[in-house]
Amino acid sequence: MSFVNMPKNDLETTPARRHFLLQASALAASVCLPHTMAWAADKKSARRIVSIGGALTEIIYALGASHELAGVDTTSLFPEAATKLPSVGYARTLSSEGILALAPNHVIATEDAGPPAVLRQISAAGVPVTVLAANDKFEGVLDRVTRLGGLIDRPTQAAQLVEKMKTDWQRAREPILARKSPAPRVLFILSHSPGQVMVGGKGSSAEAMLHYVGAHNAVQGFDGFKPLTPEAVIAAQPDVVLFTDQGLNIVGGIDGVLRLPGVAQTPAGQKRRVASLEAMFMLGFGPRMPQAVTALDNALLKVMST
Amino acid sequence: MNAIAGAISLTSRFTTGLLNRPVWFLSLVLLLCFWVAAWAGAVPVTTNDWMVLWRHEEPLTSGAYVLWNLRLPRMFFAALVGAVLGLSGALTQGLFRNPLADPGLLGVTSGAACAAALTIVVLAGSGIDIPVAWRFWVLPVAAFAGAVGVCLLLDTVARWLTADSIAGLLLTGIALNALAAAIIGLCTYLATDEQLRSLTFWTLGSLAGGSWPLVATLSLLLVAALWYVRRLVSAMNALALGEAAAAHVGINVRHLRRRVIILVALLCGFSVAWCGVIGFIGLVAPHIVRLVVGPDQRRLAPLAMLVGAIILLVADTTARSVAIPAEIPVGIFTALLGAPFFLVLLTSVRKGN
């Protein structure tokens, strides 16, 4: 259509036109579709789970239910086998149709999952969506294991896993609690790209891990993750700089860390004390949390002894 | 009967113009894109699945459910949002007589994004408990209010600064953009890790929320906007001669300006509110049309709408079917598919001249 040859003054609406508009809008608004999706008809007897969140996938593997996984998200990197499953993409940009195409009968997700509209669409299609909130307390992780075990009909395995984790936890925490040496001040740096360097402040997940290994978070000036500022780093005077393996690679190894603004003027920089652990291992808060505490503790002890 | 008569008069009214070749061509391309988009996707759809409306088979197969409840509304939504962006771009560029102007420049988009950012960070931080039923609406309504608010402010400030000058309006828009960007930056700083991630997602843009009620609302809005634009296009053409010249041929520039601004705010505010910030289309769709049919607003506005619809529909179809079962943010594809096409068109037009 084009507006050439249009009568210029067309302000008055005729009854017929009003009527037409009304009818058209009524028609548009009343698109009634059969809504009862019998996804049930597609359901096989076998459970098919789409797991969104690395820790949840890890727990499902630990409970011996990996054969029920129909798909996982991009953070499900452990165990290695999980990376072979269909990937539904990044947890925050899920696709309703993509997930439904995997014919799941349960979607289990962390609170990160989204967009909300997509989760609503999946629920509306008759596939239950359960959101299990993440937690950086050990008790919270145990609770998550128990709840997930209930969801996928493996309460006994979940109880066994919880018991095992508790034993491991005791073993991991004992030497830390018994230690008398002063707690090191640690600066945690998260880096996704060379230009984007963030520091873990109060209440960040990194701080939770530091407290469990008896270390101090050197940064107390702000909450959560914030961009690195040289003055804040110097003011924090950390004894150790802690990275994820991935982040350490991105900034260019230990020499790259020392080149970050401010780091060279701290005890950590002067003594080249840089520690790192694999990101999902250190901050996954899954079944490997006790081992992660031990590993982090060892890594910090090792650099502090230099 | 009355309604049918109305419909016939309406169509005959439009058919005079429908004989323009570009319209036929673009409509056909759009139909073809719809056809491809309907078959593309993660869940296989059979011809049978199309028939459920007439057959009323219960229970639905997964293909039928996905087609009618997810895929089709999303396709229509994508085309409508694209049309809205194309139209807004054409109007904005015409108003400023500046081919680089688009709603983003006006500050409309940033206004919406800014309001959304404030909502995500401040409202969540204040601990106000919103009833669950309302939560769905909070962000879109805020974004919409932000867009309209920016536009009203823009108009007031610009008029107070420099009566009737388009340059003043443009500069005010740029200043408001900077202000909005600063507020978004501040929100980014104040946001918790979790809020930050939802903030960044929201600025990426997504058409996943497309649903029939939304499609119906947006269709009505677009039809109403077209109705209104029809009466503005001749005046917009006069404005291309310059403000003084337009005033001499009896155009009330100030009125025209305010009408176009409010219209663009409504259109953009609504689309940004429901699918985040999708750039590029408002800027490029009118250009593509201008290269082919020239700057006459009477053709430019409706054709820019069609081109915008095609670009966004193709981009969204690609975004949801390239990485099955995952999905890629649509903003990536609008530029990825649109930019090369635009460049090719530019060079071919230059050669032709």
pLDDT of B109 reads 84
Higher pLDDT, B165 or B314: B314
pLDDT of A278 reads 94
- Asked if the Cβ–Cβ distance from B320 to A98 is below 8 Å, we say yes
- Asked if the Cβ–Cβ distance from B62 to A224 is below 8 Å, we say no
- Asked if the Cβ–Cβ distance from B327 to A94 is below 8 Å, we say yes
Q: For the residues of B152-212, what is the DSSP string, one character each?
A: HHHHHHHHHHSTT-HHHHHHHHHHHHHHHHHHHHHHHHHS-HHHHHHHHHHHH---TT--H
The minimal CB distance from A95 to the residues B10, B197, B320 is found for B320
Q: Is the pLDDT of residue A21 over 50?
A: no
Residue with tokens 């984007």: A196
Strand A196-200 to A69-72 pairing: unpaired
User: In the predicted model, what is the mean pLDDT of residues B81-108?
Assistant: 85
**B101-121 pLDDT per residue, tens:** 778 777 888 888 888 888 878
pLDDT of A19 reads 45
pLDDT of B2 reads 59
Q: Is the pLDDT of residue B225 over 70?
A: yes
Q: Is the pLDDT of residue A273 over 90?
A: yes
Q: Is the pLDDT of residue B352 over 80?
A: no
User: In the predicted model, what is the mean pLDDT of residues B45-66?
Assistant: 76
The minimal CB distance from B216 to the residues A29, A37, A40 is found for A29
Take residue A266 and report the two structure tokens written for it.
């701290």
**B235-273 pLDDT per residue, tens:** 888 888 887 888 888 888 888 888 888 888 888 888 888
CA distance A250 to A113: 26
Higher pLDDT, B180 or A31: B180
- pLDDT, chain A, mean: 85
Q: Is the pLDDT of residue A22 over 50?
A: no
Confidence of residue B17 (pLDDT cuts 50, 70, 90): very low
Confidence of residue B56 (pLDDT cuts 50, 70, 90): low
pLDDT of B257 reads 82
User: Helices A205-212 and A289-304 sit at what angle, rounded to 10 degrees?
Assistant: 70
Q: Is the pLDDT of residue B163 over 70?
A: no
Q: Is the pLDDT of residue A8 over 60?
A: no
Q: Is the pLDDT of residue B57 over 80?
A: no
- Asked if the Cβ–Cβ distance from A223 to B192 is below 8 Å, we say yes
